[in-house]
Structure 1
């Protein structure tokens, strides 16, 4: 189906923000803006054919211009946390902005989520491009990034990432959509059922930096290998913070089934596939009360993020999958969210 577009706003620097609408003829609709590559809306039918918007966000660009919890955004150069905002490549140390409890988070003060990307439409694909200069936010190398969004006839929203560099650097890109399959305005995710195909996870310290260990989930609150009611399990996670943890996936580099999120009452189901070695499961415990679409007040545990990624703090952990991109190499990542209805 053709991709339509409309003006959505303008930045303080005078750059135009465009919203693109992807449809596939199956009553599924995805809206994306070129500011931060943000997914602003996903409209999906329930078991009775009634559509609801199943991602958190804002009605207008004004909400996205100010600080918010990365609703729907492309994250880069490095998604998640880097301890102390420091890392080394080939003996050279680099320093990043420390914007989260003394650590670097989601690309810094002005990461890829706060940049206007160059957009083009190629058939049923929305293609975004961003050039990140050497030294931006402390990261080395001129990085050229391409991200494509495609809504397929089989109800998959596929996000594909590519990046090239002229100097050794680190790259770890992801999408930060907040899902509530009962509708963004329906309250908590207590009645959602989640399954994650991960037998191991990375335990974290008090600032959510992995301790460097990869441990089995068996016998812990982090065992999501079978269908798990989130309302029950969230309460079992130590510290009353719910999930904000990296789960280790098999077959890094290969597309595989990662997770299944299901809402029994509506029948909406979302299966996730990815090439990445990890997925961050985040249930929104750190979200402040914030007014979103339709004047709805979003609170903690109102949504769940499933962020395909490399492990947090990988640049400082030799036993984690490597994240260094060198000249002549290509960073690639592919993640799909497949929507269906269980009647």
Structure 2
């Protein structure tokens, strides 16, 4: 980092934890996007998209550290070791049963009580456009075998935010790292999140039981409430289909088609802001934030669109494996591309604007 870059780096004390540990808020700003990231949990607290009409806040955030410590909705966190749920907080591998933290009833969610979204990350590198955070999860933490060393790199480039996970382990362990921002691209909590248009090139989804655990079935989406292959206003797609009603809305894993061109696209006609998410992972968890109605009613709702491996994969041999061995390097880039399209006349217009900003 040059001296001129160092003077432009923005970092402030966001608060102190009960043990006196300081939590920092780091701001990245390249003129197109402005992101604020906390060292506790790697929380993406704010992501502003500059438009001809001024900045638009794309994610939901909380006012202070105390609110994040008390948060049970995982707003904006880096998720690990395992995003989503593992049934019964246990799995068996190579003849050995492993017991994990149970933190959602009898099940394991988002890494359990020791999940990465509640941990303090170390800043390895910081410039005005780039932040590298690091974390070591020791063997046995949360019940997982193997020490896992992780870095999460946030980078701004043009109208894109790139989050890249790298991880290595010294013993075979399940790993499913993802990201948990709540997106309402309207930038206004009074505008319902389900007025956003969503496209997900997924041809199947994973039905769940009453505990939101995959049943093991991989079901075709055709013609139902989970068919987002053509962009649609979400409130118009949601129906009283049993899978939606059972979870009071969407909280399901969509299985991307083999020829999927991205993980998801989202557009708010209110603000004109559009977003594309691209990741090499085979699935996307779509959660529409219905729990916020009770826990954070002033925030409104936001959509969690989480690229990931299959939930509960260690307990379903026919799901793609999420096991990481010491011989492998875990690599998961998540690219968020933004554009502004006022009064789009067609979805093709939204796609063209996003294409124009990709790779900037």
* Secondary structure of residue in 1 paired with 2:15: strand
Instruction: Verify: 1:138 aligned to 2:159, yes or no.
Output: no
- Cα root mean square deviation, aligned: 1.8
In the alignment, is residue 115 of structure 1 matched against residue 122 of structure 2?
no
- Residues 56 and 184 of structure 1 are in contact (CA less than 8 Å); yes or no, is this contact kept in structure 2? no
Shift in Å, 1:339: 1.0
- Structure 1 match to 2:103: 99
Question: How far off is 1:5 after superposition?
Answer: 1.1
Asked whether the equivalents of residues 289 and 298 of structure 1 are also in contact (C-alpha less than 8 Å), the reply is: no
The alignment of Structure 1 onto Structure 2 pairs a total of residues equal to: 332
Report if the CA contact (8 A) 1:81-1:312 is conserved: yes
**1:270-281, aligned counterparts within 5 Å?**
270-281=275-286
**3-state DSSP of counterpart to 1:113:** helix
What secondary structure, in the 3-state scheme, does the structure 2 residue paired with 1:64 have?
A: helix
Secondary structure of 2:319's aligned partner: coil
Alignment of 1:77-92 (within 5 A): 77-92=81-96
Aligned to 2:307: 308
Question: 2:249 — aligned with what?
Answer: 242
Deviation at 1:103, TM superposition (A): 1.0
Partner of residue 33 from structure 1, selected from 38, 41, 62 = 38
Structure 1: gaps of 5 or more residues: none
TM-score, with normalisation over the residues of structure 1? 0.92
Displacement of 1:269: 0.5
* Cα distance in 1, alignment partners of residues 293 and 169 from structure 2: 36
More helix by share: 2
Within 5 Å, give how 1:1-343 maps onto structure 2: 2-26=8-32, 28-46=33-51, 48-123=52-127, 124-153=129-158, 155-183=159-187, 185-238=189-242, 239-240=244-245, 241-250=248-257, 256-291=261-296, 297-299=298-300, 302-343=301-342
* Cα offset, 1:284, TM superposition: 1.2
Distance 2:108 2:174 in 1: 13
Structure 1 runs, 4 residues or longer, greater than 6 Å off: none
CA contact (8 A) 2:165 2:331 kept: yes
Partners of 1:89 and 1:168 within 8 A in 2: no
For residue 183 of structure 1, give the secondary structure of its aligned residue in structure 2. Answer: coil
The Cα shift of 1:88 comes to 1.5
CA distance in 2, matches of 1:129, 1:175: 15
Indicate the SS of the match to 1:261. strand
User: Is 2:184–2:193's contact at 8 Å kept on the other side of the alignment?
Assistant: yes
Q: Which moved more, 1:162-171 or 1:281-290?
A: 281-290
Structure 1 CA distance for aligned equivalents of residues 40 and 188 of structure 2: 21
Could you tell me how far 1:184 is from its partner in structure 2? 5.1
Tell me, in whole angstroms, the C-alpha distance in 1 between the residues paired with 2:224 and 2:134: 42
Deviations along 1:139-172, whole A, 9 cap, x unmatched? 111110111001112x111110011111111100
- Distance in 2 (alpha carbons) for counterparts of 1:244 and 1:41: 23
Q: CA deviation at 1:250?
A: 3.9
- Mapped contact 2:274–2:340 kept (Cα < 8 A): yes
Displacement after TM superposition at 1:256 (Å): 4.7
State the SS of the aligned residue for 2:113.
Answer: coil
Segment of structure 1 superposing worse, 166-175 or 119-128:
119-128
Contact 2:225 2:239 in 1 (8 A): no
Structure 2 residue runs without a partner (length 5+): 343-360
